[in-house]
Amino acid sequence: MGYAESRNYFSGGKTGMCVLFGIIGAVIGGFLARFVMVIIMGILQFVNDWNVDMCNLVVNIGTVVGAIIGGLIGFGIGYEKDQETAEKNRRLQVERNQIYQLKQQYRQTNDPQVQQAINSEINSAQCRMMSIKSE
């Protein structure tokens, strides 16, 4: 798999939100898991008389698990964002192609009524493009 294929493999385009959201999710998941695990281990240390090394081991394992889960959740959210962006770009490209074809037809005809109808279609396509961009 070359560079171009690997670049488009996950995101389907020019964006890479899945990686960014995955990293952010891993950081947040790790911090939240560590916070919760420290509180739980603080309670268990007094209740079960666990030593500090055992509590630190459990906290570290919980932090890693939380980071992995947070990273997977973030990656999934980013992947969805990438798919939405790719779909939006595809729809915009369809409208651009239609405008290009209509302009070609406009240049090929001399009938003013046909040119006016083509201009109306071009304006409609441009409005659809603005609507897609504002989503």
56-71 per-position pLDDT tens digit:
888 899 999 999 999 9
Assess contact for 30 and 66: CB atoms under 8 A: yes
More confident residue, 55 or 35: 35
pLDDT in tens, 81-97: 888 888 999 999 999 99
**Is 5's pLDDT higher than 60?**
no
Encode burial over 93-120: b for 16+ CB neighbours within 10 A, e otherwise. Answer: eebeebbeebeeebeeeeeeeeeeebee
Residue type, 70: G
**Is 43's pLDDT higher than 90?**
no
Question: What global pTM score does this model have?
Answer: 0.67
Distance in angstroms (rounded) separating the CA atoms of residues 132 and 135: 5
Assess contact for 74 and 22: CB atoms under 8 A: yes
- What is the arithmetic mean of pLDDT over 69-82? 91
Distance in angstroms (rounded) separating the CA atoms of residues 57 and 63: 10
The pLDDT, as a whole number, for residue 11 is: 46
CA distances from 83 to 9, 48, 130, 132, 134 (A): 12, 49, 20, 15, 17
The pLDDT, as a whole number, for residue 15 is: 56
Assess contact for 20 and 65: CB atoms under 8 A: no
Query: Where in the chain are the domains?
Result: 15-129
Question: What mean pLDDT value characterizes the chain?
Answer: 85
- What is the arithmetic mean of pLDDT over 11-26? 76
CA distances from 1 to 5, 8, 14, 75 (A): 6, 11, 17, 22
Structure tokens at 113: 């009524």
